[in-house]
Amino acid sequence: MKLIEEIKLANGLKLKIFDLSRRVAADTFKVEISFQTKVDLKESYFADSQDYAQVKNIMGDELTYERKMVRSFVYEKDQDSVREDLINTFKKNSLNYLASVNFPRKLALSMLKDIKNNPYKYHPHIYSDSEE
């Protein structure tokens, strides 16, 4: 994982862009770019303290936003232009949304919704062979 760029957003967040590309055959690559930012979890994002506590107990003090963009079977000679195209597409389509002052709150509420709708993802079942 190689850090390509770090962008300071208008809302104070830092967007980090990583290159996760790798060779898949003698002359082709999987070009994969990861866009990541960290958001401090704040109680003020939630309508009640129980929702805040639920997210905090599962995710901790910080939330991570990550988006990956991938192109498979890219010829070696084309990988730089494909990488640049993926980055420019993301910036054009998503940068304003991530830089919005409301983005951290929306991310926190989205996480709460996912936790409530899919609790099995966050509370794995523990199986035990021992008898109580």
Convert the pLDDT of each residue in 35-88 to its tens digit: 999 999 999 999 999 999 999 999 999 999 999 999 999 999 999 999 999 999
Q: Buried (b) or exposed (e) across 16-33, using 16+ Cβ within 10 A?
A: ebbbebeeeeeeebbbbb
pLDDT higher than 60, residue 131:
no
pTM of the model: 0.86
Convert the pLDDT of each residue in 2-20 to its tens digit: 999 999 999 999 999 999 9
Domain ranges of the chain: 2-79+86-118
